[in-house]
Amino acid sequence: MKVEVEDTGLGIEPSETDRIFNPSYTTRSGGTGLGLAQAHKKVQDKRGGQSFTSAPGRGTTFTIVLPLVAEPPVAAEDSR
Instruction: Tell me the pLDDT band of 76, cut-offs 50, 70 and 90.
Output: low
Give dist(CA 7, CA 24) in Å, integer: 22
Q: What is the pLDDT of residues 13-45, one digit of tens each?
A: 999 999 999 999 988 888 898 999 999 999 999
Give dist(CA 41, CA 75) in Å, integer: 25
Count other Cβ atoms within 10 Å, centred on residue 36.
18
- 51, containing H or E segment: strand 49-55
Question: What pLDDT is recorded for position 70?
Answer: 62
Q: Are 72 and 52 in contact (CB under 8 A)?
A: no
Alpha-carbon distances of 18 from 12, 15, 61, 71, rounded to whole Å: 10, 7, 16, 30
